[in-house]
Homo-oligomer: A and B are copies of this chain.
Amino acid sequence: MKLLERFNRQDVRALSKIISAIEDHQNGIQKVLGELYPQAGAAIRIGITGPPGAGKSTLVNGLTHQLLKNQKKVGILAVDPTSPFTGGALLGDRVRMHEFPTTGEVYFRSMATRGARGGLSAATDNAAVALGAFGYDTVLIETVGVGQIEIDIIDACDVVVVVLVPESGDSVQTMKAGLMEIGDIFVVNKADRPGSDKMVAELRYAVRNWKRADQSWDTPVIATEATHDKNLDKLYEAINRYIGHVQGSARFESHRREQIAKKVMAVLQGRFKKEFFDHFNAEVGLDTVVNDIMTGKTNPYRAGEELYHKFEKQKTPSVQP
C-alpha cells in the first residue's frame, strides 16, 4: 500500500491523508488502522477540556512549548463537534500552527464532523492512533465542553486537564457541569482576573472533598496565565507526576482494557451501520414512509419496526428443511 509506505517514511502529507480518510470513514481505512495500531501503543494522551472562552487553545500551545523543551514530539487534535456549522477549522489550523517550528516536532489538526453526523469520537480516537504510530509520543486532545461525545473522547485519555476561568462561575457550577468527575488536574486560567484566588481556593476545597475513584491521587489545582506563559511549567510537571502515578498501576491497565473493549465494539457497530444503510438507501423509499406517517396511516415507531423486519427477512433466505 503506497500511502502506508509514505507514512512509514515519515511523510507528513501521508499522515494528513490518513487522518482525512479516518474522518470520512473511507473504505479500507480500518485495514490501514490495523497496520498502524501495533506501533501506536506507547503514546501518552493528554485530554484538555473546559468551557468555551477558557483559553484552552493558548494553554495547549503553551503546553506544547513545554513538551518541545523536553524533547517530546507533539500531535494536537482539536475537537469541535459544532464546527460543521462554522466551517472555519482549516483557517484556524493554519493560524495555530504558525507559532510552532515546521520541522515536524508538532502536528496540529482540527477534528470536525464531516458529512453525516456521528463518529467524531471514534474518528478522534483513530486519529490519535495514527499520530502515535507516526511517532508523536504525546498526543494533546483539546475538546470544547463536556457533551457526551467529548466525554467519550476524554475517557480515552491517560490524563485529563480541566481548564476553567474565574468568570466561568463558582465551584458549584463546575460540579454541576460534570467536570469534577473527569479532571485529574484542574487549571484556573486567566488567573490575573478578579476572583481567581477565591476560585482556586474553592476548587481545592472541592477536590479534597470529592470522592475520587483513585483516592491516592491528590488532585492539583494550578493557577495559570497561558497568554504570559505563567505556570505552564507547573502544569507540565503535574501532568508528568500523574502519568508516573498511574502508569504500571492496576488502574492504568484496567482503563486501557476498557478502552480496547470499547474500540472493538465501536468498530463492530460502525460496520453494522454501514451495511444497514447501504441496504436501506437502495431498497426503501423513505419518502413514501414519511407520507404514510403524515397522513396518519402509520407512525414512526411502527414504520421503523416494519422496515427492520423487512430487512431481516431479506438478509435471511428461508431454509428448506
Contact = CB atoms under 8 A, between A and B. Distances in A.
Contacts of A303: 264, 267
A266 interface: yes
Nearest to A266: B304
Interface residues of A, number: 77
A260 B276 CA distance: 19
A37 B148 contact: no
B304 A264 contact: yes
In the complex this chain forms, how many copies of it are found? 2
Contacts of A38: 296, 299
A150 B147 contact: yes
A51 interface: yes
A261 B286 contact: yes
Contact of A149 (B147, B178, B182): B147
A315 interface: yes
A267 to B, nearest CB: 3
Given A30-B305, A315-B315, A260 B294 contact: yes
Contact of A269 (B37, B52, B152, B273): B273
Interface string A164-180: 00011100010111101
Contacts of A51: 51-52
A317 B317 contact: yes
A268 to B, nearest CB: 4
Nearest to A117: B148
B148 A181 contact: no
Contacts of A257: 290, 294
B304 A267 contact: yes
Nearest to A120: B148
A23 to B, nearest CB: 15
Nearest to A113: B148
A82 B260 contact: no
A81 interface: yes
B37 A300 contact: yes
Contacts of A37: 299-301
B261 A305 contact: no
B271 A272 contact: no
Interface in A256-294: 256-257, 260-261, 263-273, 276, 280, 286, 289-290, 293-294
